Structure 1
C-alpha cells in the first residue's frame, strides 16, 4: 500500500510540474469574450519575431500582452489598439519580414536588438533599420513600448498620413480619335433631408419620377452619416445639354428627360448637381462592343489582391472595357508620410507616382457603326465590316441593344429584369456567335470545288427545274431552288443562288475534301482576333455523316454554322489573290494586311468566283441588285437560311444575309460588309437586308 501511495504521489508531483510548466509558458488574456493565447519564449529575438508576426493577422490584443506592464501605466489597451490598427490597416501593410536581428546592447534585465524590416504597403515597399528594447520578466521577455516600434522616427505626437491621387481611366477612341468611352458628365439627383416638405408624399413623387423604390430612397436618407443639411445622392440621370434642347426638333427622349428634371426641381429639398462619370458616346450602337464598367465589389477586391483596386475603383465588366482593363485602369498615386504635431511633413516613408490609364484607339468607324445600328436596331441580328485589304475592322454591331450608360448611372432591378426577359434578347451579343449562313456560303463552296479540282466552272450541270434529288435512296427528300436559268454553270449558279447546283457541287467534292478544306480555312479553330469569337463548324459531330447532309452543306444549310467575322475574312481571299486577311481591332498608324491563311484559294479560283459575285449585285437578275451603284463597283452574295423542324414545317424562321464589298482595289474607301437578320420571313427575305445595307453604303460613301 505504501509503495502504491508513494507512486501516486510521484505521479501527482509530476503532473503538477507539467501543469506549472504549461502555465509558465502560456498567457491567457480574456477580452470581449475572446480567448487569446501566445507562447512565451526565453529568447528576446523570438519574442520580437513573434510580435511582428501578429501584425498582419491584426492580433493587436495579443501584441498588447507582449508589452512590458510598466509601459501600460500611461498606455491603455484601447489607445494601443487604436494607434496600431489605424496605422497598419491604413497603409494596408502586408508581407512583413524581419531580418538581421542582432544584440546591440545588453544590461542586467534589458536587451536592445537591432534589426531590418521590409513590408508591402498601399504605396509600395518600405524598408528600414530599427531597434527594439526588451525587458526580462517572470513571464519571459516583454517589449518596452515606443511608437518607434512602428517606424523608427515615429513619435507619440506624430501621425501617419496616407494621400492618394486617383488615376484617370484611359479613353476608348475610334479610328479618327473620336471618344467612344471616356470622361463625361451626368446629373446627380440628391435630397437635403431638412428641406423636404410633407416627407412621405415628396419621397413617393421622387421615386415615381426616378422609377425607383421608395424603400431605396428611405434607406439612403437614414444612413448613419446623413444630417439634416446633408446632400444625399439618390440617383444619377442623364445630363440634358442646352445644345440638344436648342435643336429645331429635339429628340423625344431629351424632352422627356428635361421634363423629368423640371418636375424634380419643383419638389422642395431636391437638388441637381453635375457629376463626372464614365460616358459612352454612342450608347446602344456600341454597347456590345465597348461594354461597361461598374464599381468594384468585395469579391473583386478578393479576386484582384495587390492590383491597386480600392472600394472607390471601377472595373470593366464586359466588352473592351473588360478586355483592356489592365491598360485602361492605370495606377493610383500614393504617399505615406509621417506628420509632426503641427501637420508638417517629417518624413516620406513610401511614394508611388500616379500613372493614368492608356487610351485604346480602335479601327472602328463611328459613323459606320452608328449607321448600321440605326438601320437594324429593331431587328435581332448583327453586322460586321472591315477593310478587306488591311484587315481593319470598321464595325461590329449587335441588335437590338441596350444603353451601357445606364449601367454607369445605376441600373434599377426592374430595368435589369426587363432586359433579361425581353424576347429580342438585347443583352445577347450576336456578332460573337455562329449562324447558319445560307447562300452566302455558296462562293466558299465554289472555291472549295475549284481548289480540290472537283468542279469545272464551265461545266453545265443541267436544268433540273425547281426540285431535285440524287436518287430514290433519298426517299421523299428533295433540294429545292427558286429560279430556272441556262446554262447551269458556276457563274450563273452564284448569280441566281441555285441550291441544286451547289448541292451537286458538294457531292462532287466529297465529304473528306469538303471537311478538310473547311478546316484549312479556319473551321473548328479559334479566330486570331482580339475578341473571342465562337468557332465556325460544319457538323454537330465533327463529321458530315450523310449524303443529304453534305448536299445541304453545299448551299450553306445542313449543320454549317459560321461566325460573321470569320465569313468576312474568308471573303477577303476573293480580293487578295486567294489569301485570307487577318482581322484586327486595335488601330495601327501604318495599316497593312497581314495574311491569316495563305492560299486559301488560288488566284485563278477567285477570278472565277468574282465573276459570279459581281453579277449578284450588278446583273439585273442578281439577288443583290438593289445594292447596285453606278459610281462604285460592288460585289456580294445574298443568303436565306431556313430554320425549321421538318421540310414541311411552315412556322420556322428564315435568317437573312447580305455580304457585299467593293470589288475595285482603287476605291477610296474599301469596305467588306456582312449583315444578318435572324428572321426575314414575311418581310422580304434577304432583300430586306440588301436594302438596309444599300442605305448604309450610301451614307458611308457620301461622307
Structure 2
C-alpha cells in the first residue's frame, strides 16, 4: 500500500515537472518569436526592446540599429527568414535558455542558409517577468565576434557584346566620362563656372547646386554631376574649367549611336517594379529595356561575382559566408553590316522613315534603320529633362520603331499582284488591257469612285508597261480578274496575317483590317497596294527576295552564321518562270528612261526596282492627306544586296521620287 502511494506521488511529480518544463519552453519560444518577427521585418528598434538590460548596457540602440542596417544593406539582404529549429532541443544552463534557430536570406551572392542559436534569460521588467534576448554579434552570424566586420567583394561581370557581321561592336561595355566638381577648386567666380558647366552638360545650374549642397559633401570631395560619352566634343572644354574633374567609369556604350538605336535598344538600371518580376536581379543591376538588349537579355546579361566574408579587427579574413563566381554574358554576332546601317541612316536621318536591307540569296539582314532616331547612350548615361521632353514632343516620333511596324505599301505591292495573277492564269503579261485616260471605274455601281493613274502612256497596256509606268488601273483590273477569294488565299500564302519567324518581333502584315476583303472597290485598290493592305518592311523585303529565288520566299534572319545558307520560309509560292518575268520587267523600271525608278540607274549595274507612292487620306476627295514614298531595289547580276526605303510625308517632296536617290546611294557605295 505504501509503495502504491509513493508511486502515485512519483507520477504526480513527473507530470508536474513535464508541465512546468513545457510551460517554460512555451514562454521562451513566445519571447523569441516576438524578437524573430521584428527581425524578419527589419524592425531593429523593436528588436532592441526585446533585449535584456545587460545587452543594452553594452550596445546603444543607435549603434545596434546602425550595425544591422549597415550589414544587411551592404550584402543586399532581403527575404530574411528566421525560425526556431524544432528538430533540436532548447538547452537550459545557469538560468539561461539557448534556442536553436535556422536562418535564410537572399544576398547579393545568392541564398545564404545557416544554423545558429540565440540565448535568452529571465528578467523582471515593470513587475513582469519575461524572457529577454541576450545579444552578441554572433546573433547576426555564428562566427561574428566583437570587433569583427562583414566585408563584400565584388567582381564586375562583363555584359555580352553585340557585334556586326564584321566584328565591329554596336553595343559593348566601354568607358564613359564621369564629370564632377571638387568644390574647393572652383575659382572665385564659381557661379559663372557652374553656368558654363551646366550649358555644356545640358543641365540646369540648379541641378549642380543641389548636388553640391548635399549634406554629405565636403570641400575636397569629388561630386559627380553627369556622365557623358568618352568622345563627347565638350569634354576637352569642360576639363579646362577650374573645379571640374573627370573620372572614367565602365558603362554600356553604343558606337553607332542614333544609326542603330531602334535595333540595339538600350539598357538601364532595373526599376523597383521590374525587381518584383525579376527575382534574380539586384537593385544595382542593369537590364535590357528595348531592342536587342531586351530580346537577348538572358544571353547578354552579366552577373557580378561576390564574396561575403568576416574579417577580424586586423582586417584579416576569418571565414567566407557565401561566394558566387562572376558570370560574363555571352556575345552576339549579327548579320548586320555597320556600313550599310550607317549609310541608310545618314540618307534618311532628316526624315520620318525607315530603311531595311538583306542578302536575298541567304536571308542575312544587313540593315534595320528607323528615323528620326535617338542616341541610346543618353538613356544609359543620364538624359536631361529637356532632351526627354524633346523626344516625346517631337511630332516625327523618334522613339517609334518604323521597321517593326506596318505601313501602306502602295505601288511596291504591284509585283505581288502580278505574281498572283500569273500563277493563277488570270494575267497574260503580253495582252493589253486597253486602258485609256487617267481614271477608270468598273461600272456605275462604284458611284463617284474611280481608280486613277498618273500617266496615259498609250498602248500596249501590258504588264511590262504597267510596271514601268506604275499603272494603278492595270493592277486594279488584275485584282478584279483574280477575284476576292483567290486574292485572299494567295496573299495568305505570301505570309500576310501570319507571324513572321524573325528574331526581332515584327507587326503582322495584313490584307484587310478584319481579315477579309469586303467590297469590289477594296479588292481593286488592294491590287495596287492601297485598300487595307498593310505590310511590315522586313516582310516586304522577304517577299521581294522571291524574285531572285525562283518564287521561293527566303527566311530573313539576324543572328550570324559562319556558313550562311538560305532557309526557305515559303516554298514555291509561284513558278520560277513568273519570277523571271517580273524580275526582268522590274529591271526595265530602272533602266528604261521612262521608268518611274530610272533615277536609280547606275551604268554597269543591273538594278531591278519598284517605286511606290501610297496615299494616306480619309477619302478620294480628301486633298489634305499625305503620301508615303517607297523604293525597293536589288542587283540582278549579283543579287547579294536588296534595299528598301520608305519616307513618310513625302507628298511635297516628290513621293517615291524623293526616296529613289536614297536607295541608289547605298548601291553606289556598296558594290
Q: TM-score, normalised by structure 2?
A: 0.88
Match of 1:119 in 2: 105
Structure 2 residue aligned with 1:521: 494
1:465 matches 2:456:
no
Partner residue in 2 for 1:6: none
> Do 2:616 and 2:627's aligned partners in 1 also have CA atoms closer than 8 Å?
yes
Alpha-carbon shift at residue 503 of structure 1 (Å): 0.4
**Which string of whole-angstrom CA distances, capped at 9 and with x for unpartnered residues, describes residues 191-210 of structure 1?**
22223213333333433343
Equivalences for residues 181-260 of structure 1 within 5 A? 181-196=171-186, 197-240=188-231, 254=233, 257=234
CA distance, structure 1, for counterparts of residue 498 and residue 164 of structure 2: 29
Tell me which residue corresponds to 1:670.
Answer: 640
| CA distance in 1: counterparts of 2:30 and 2:110, whole angstroms | 27
Residue 431, structure 1, aligned to residue 410, structure 2: no
For residues 552-591 of structure 1, what are the structure 2 equivalents within 5 Å?
Answer: 552-591=525-564
1:600 aligns with 2:600: no
Matched, 1:154 2:128: no
2:367 match: 395
What is the aligned partner in structure 2 of residue 20 from structure 1? none
Indicate conservation of the 8 Å contact 1:103/1:111, yes or no: no
Tell me, yes or no, if the aligned pair for 1:660 and 1:674 is still in contact at 8 Å. yes
Report the CA distance between 1:603 and its aligned residue: 2.9
Asked if the contact 2:100–2:118 (Cα under 8 Å) also holds between the matched residues in 1, the reply is yes
Partner of 1:413: 385
Q: Aligned-residue CA RMSD in angstroms?
A: 2.7
Q: Which residue in 1 is equivalent to 2:302?
A: 330
Say which of 47, 51, 55 aligns to 1:67.
Answer: 51
Shift of 1:447: 2.0
The match for 1:13 is none
52-61 or 563-572, larger mean C-alpha shift:
52-61
Q: After superposition, where does 1:449-488 map in structure 2 within 5 Å?
A: 449-481=421-453, 482-488=455-461
Cα separation, 1, equivalents of 2:514 and 2:249: 54
Q: For 2:398 and 2:184, how far apart are their aligned partners in 1? A: 42
Aligned to 1:491: 464
Taking the aligned partners of 1:131 and 1:188, their CA distance within structure 2 comes to 47
Whether the aligned pair in 2 keeps the contact of 1:114 and 1:132 (CA below 8 Å) is: yes
> How much has 1:409 moved relative to structure 2?
3.5
CA distance in structure 1 between the partners assigned to 2:663 and 2:394 by the alignment: 26
Q: Residue 55 of structure 1 aligns to a residue in which SS? A: helix
Give per-residue Cα distances to partners, 1:406-458, cap 9 Å, x unaligned: 33343222222223223333232211121111111011111222344433334
For residues 643 and 608 of structure 1, the distance between their equivalents in structure 2, rounded to whole angstroms, comes to 31
Rounded Cα–Cα distance in structure 2 between residues aligned with 1:679 and 1:443? 24
- Deviation string 1:351-388 (CA, Å, 9 cap, x unpaired) is 00111222222111000011111112112211111111
Query: In the TM superposition, what is the alpha-carbon distance from 1:46 to its structure 2 partner?
Result: 5.6
SS of 2:88's equivalent in the other structure is: strand
Count of matched residue positions in the alignment of Structure 1 and Structure 2: 641
Identify if the C-alpha distance between structure 1 residues 295 and 545 changes in structure 2 by more than 3 Å, giving closer, same or farther: same
The equivalent residue for 1:166 is: 156
Per the alignment, residue 356 of structure 2 pairs with: 384
Q: Is the 8 A contact 1:134 1:142 kept in 2?
A: yes
2:79 is aligned to 94
Tell me by how many angstroms 1:234 deviates: 2.3
Q: CA deviation at 1:637?
A: 1.3
C-alpha contact (below 8 Å) 1:42/1:141 kept by paired residues: no
Alignment gaps of 5+ in structure 1:
1-39, 242-253
Say if 1:445 and 1:266 are closer, same or farther in 2 by CA, change over 3 A: same
User: Which residue does 1:77 correspond to in 2?
Assistant: 61
Aligned to 1:32: none
Deviation at 1:469, TM superposition (A): 1.2
CA distance in 2 between counterparts of 1:682 and 1:71 reads 83
Q: Residues 515-554 of structure 1: matches in 2 within 5 Å?
A: 515-554=488-527
2:606 to 630, 633, 655: 633
Of the candidates 251, 255, 277, which is equivalent to residue 281 of structure 1? 255
**1:292 equivalent in alignment to 2:266:** yes
Aligned residue in 1 for 2:20: none
Q: Output one character per residue of 1:53-97: Cα deviation in whole Å (capped at 9) or x when no partner.
A: 432211223333443444444344334333333333433142525
Q: 1:139 to 1:483 in 2, by over 3 A?
A: farther
- The 1-side partners of 2:149 and 2:239 are apart by 44
Aligned to 2:281: 308
Q: Please state how far the C-alpha of 1:700 moved relative to its aligned partner.
A: 0.9
In 2: Cα distance, 1:700 partner to 1:412 partner = 38
Cα distance in 2 for residues equivalent to 1:591 and 1:211: 46
Report Cα offsets for 1:637-679 as digits up to 9, x if no partner. 1111122333344443221111111334xx3x70111111113
Alignment-derived partner of residue 687 in structure 1: 657
- Gaps (5+ residues) in structure 2? 1-23
Q: Is the 8 A contact 2:265 2:293 kept in 1?
A: yes
Q: CA deviation at 1:124?
A: 1.6
**Any idea what SS the aligned residue of 1:696 has?**
helix
SS at match of 2:89: strand
Segment drifting more, 602-611 vs 528-537 = 602-611
Instruction: Report the CA distance between 1:698 and its aligned residue.
Output: 1.0
Q: Given the superposition, is the C-alpha separation of residues 604 and 46 from structure 1 closer, same or farther in structure 2, using an over 3 Å criterion?
A: farther
> Structure 2 vs 1, CA of residues 75 and 209 (structure 1 numbering), >3 Å: closer, same or farther?
closer
Q: Does 1:696 align with 2:666?
A: yes
- SS of alignment partner, residue 551 of structure 1: helix
Task: From 344, 366, 370, give the equivalent of 2:342.
Answer: 370
- What's the offset of the Cα at 1:141? 4.1
Name the CA shift for 1:369/1:167 in 2 (closer, same or farther; >3 Å): same
2:340–2:366 contact (8 Å) kept in structure 1: yes
The C-alpha deviation readout for 1:523-545, integer Å capped at 9, x for no partner, is 22322222222221222333322
- Give the whole-Å Cα distance in 1 for the aligned partners of 2:231 and 2:71: 45
Deviation per CA, 1:125-164, whole angstroms, max 9, x where unpaired?
2233433444456645444333323222221221111222
CA contact (8 A) 2:363 2:566 kept: yes
1:308 and 1:332 in contact (8 A); partners too: no
In structure 2, the CA distance between the partners of 1:171 and 1:492, relative to structure 1 (3 Å rule), is: same
- Partners of 2:432 and 2:329 in 1: how far apart? 62
Equivalent residues of 1:41, 1:140 under 8 A apart = no
Distance 2:438 2:626 in 1: 21
1:337: how far off? 0.4
Q: TM-score, normalised by structure 1?
A: 0.84
* Cα offset, 1:401, TM superposition: 1.9
Per the alignment, residue 131 of structure 1 pairs with: 117
Contact 1:463 1:484 in 2 (8 A): no
CA distance in 2, matches of 1:579, 1:283: 36
- 1:93–1:122 CA contact under 8 A, matched in 2: no
SS in 2 for 1:64: helix
Q: Separation in 1 of the partners of 2:100 and 2:199? A: 67
Distance 2:441 2:228 in 1: 62
